Amino acid sequence: MKLKLVSSILFLFAITLTWAAEQAPPPATGAVAPEVSLTSGDGSAVNLKDYRGKWVVLYFYPKDFTGGCTLEAHNFQRDLAKYAALHAVILGVSVDSAESHKSFCAKEGLNFKLLADTGAKVSTEYGSVMDYNGMKIAARNTFIIDPKGKVAKTFIGVKPAGHSDEVLQALAALQKS
């Protein structure tokens, strides 16, 4: 029985190490943010470089219409005026299609852009892709990008419930320094 338990733990550890070895690291704080050029739920092309001069909260999330992702999106939506006061925009990224994002925004009353990374290219460049039951999905990570296009703060493996508050606090602190 103990041998079976130890074997199971070692197997899970090996899988985790394999995933970590294959996973690209997120961009370092201070590094130029990898370019983002994706289609949003409204069908428009969104390029990160178009937001130079503003703060950008680029958040990656696994799937439209799921509990944690809906909670996280609602909290960002709730705080949109606070982000605007800090000259920041919210951009959400998942591997869902632009059509899925359009439906998600309409159903949940979201007024910020969700970007379709259907090939997981951008998610990979940000070290934010993971395998879930044989599918590539975005990992729940967030990046604050400064007005010059550099990564100012990184949040890895975030919890959706208080995340918007956490990002607002970090954004305010970054702008004071």
- For residues 15 and 45, the model is more confident at 45
- For residues 15 and 162, the model is more confident at 162
CATH classification (class only), 27-176? alpha beta
The whole model's pTM is what?
0.86
Identify the active-site residue in 36, 38, 57, 69: 69
Per-residue confidence (pLDDT) for residue 57, from 0 to 100: 98
- For residues 42 and 12, the model is more confident at 42
- Sheet architecture: strand order including 45-47: 45-47, 37-40, 113-116, 88-94, 55-60, 142-145, 151-155
Instruction: Please report, for the chain, the start and end positions of each structural domain, with discontinuous segments joined by +.
Output: 27-176
Statement: residue 18 has pLDDT above 90: no
| Arithmetic mean of pLDDT over the chain | 89
Count of CA atoms in the C-beta half-sphere (13 A) of 176: 6
Contacts of 81 (CB under 8 A, 6+ apart): none
CA proximity to 123, closest of 153, 91, 99:
91
105 is catalytic: no
Percentage of the chain modeled with pLDDT above 70:
87
Q: Rounded to an integer, what distance in angstroms lies between the CA atom of residue 34 and that of residue 149? A: 9
Cβ atoms within 10 Å of 34's Cβ, excluding its own: 20
